[in-house]
Amino acid sequence: MANRSTKVGLIGLGVMGTPLARRLMADGYGLVVHDRNPAATRPFLRRGAQPARSPREVADAARVVLVSLPRPAVVRDVALGRDGIVHGARVRTFVDLSTTGSAVEKEVAAGLAARGIATVDAPVSGGAEGAAAGALAVMAAGHPRAIAAVRPLLRCFGTVFVVGREPGQGQLLKVLNNLLSSTALAITAEAVVAGVKGGLDPATMLAAINAGSGRNSATADKFPKWVLPRTFAFGHSIDAVCKDAGLAIDEAQALGVPRWVGGAAHALWQYARADGGAALDMTALVTFVERWAGVRVRERRKRRARR
């Protein structure tokens, strides 16, 4: 069982991994860290974390290894590659916090199980802001004993939902969650741009929508915080949205479930990525709709009252 006297491995110190590492250290856990960008590890080394030159070195030092990585292929290589976690001498539990998709998660779990390493499939939702606040939704799947052993760690990040006994089930829920989120943002962009072109104030629109039946994560959070101020800094790129939505579309197709709405939203995100938007923050999707419509979404300046 993971406790505060145990070294915990963490691989991947990017947009999500960095605040997750901070949460663990703030809760008193000692870390063994690795990232392919050495600069990402330095703030944690200064605070006492142990460096590792490879995933295998992390797995040589820690019984529990968590990963927060950008793509399924990277997760597969870190877990099962030539210098991967599977070859570690000490590791007994692998915890995948990434958005990996069920197919790769099952492949990784099978490869690790052959070496006596349990997998806890535990993707997280809530963005970098939620990670920093310890307010993520953690969607955990795996053997009950494996989940129980790492549950104190996962609680550092937010609320833990045990969604299944098989690795891959957490991933299924996560990509469906992300498809819902990205579809909500896409339709909100279209609706708000249409309202602005019709002469409505976007801030007033959002306030009314959020008091009514159209409320969603984009109207309640992303548009007020990152679209109206034009900061576009939620912390998840358009390219990453395309990856996540694509994984969800693949899951639906494999299950024989129609994907009319999700497929249409995915097409819009793919268009934005192809039109030069891959590296842009996901909230910048609205700028593509604005360009097509010939208007710009911005909060109206309040007029000064005449004396």
Supply the residues annotated as catalytic. 174
Residue 152 CB contacts under 8 Å (≥ 6 apart), including other chains: 1, 2, 3
Q: How far is CA 210 from CA 65, 182, 222, in A?
A: 40, 18, 12
Residues 138 and 157: beta-carbon distance below 8 Å: yes
Give yes or no for a contact between 45 and 31, defined as CB atoms under 8 angstroms apart: no
Query: Could you tell me where the beta strands, DSSP code E, fall in 21-135?
Result: 30-34, 50-51, 64-67, 93-96, 118-121, 124-125
Contacts of 239 (CB under 8 A, 6+ apart): 273, 278, 279
Give the separation between CA 27 and CA 153, rounded to whole angstroms.
Answer: 9
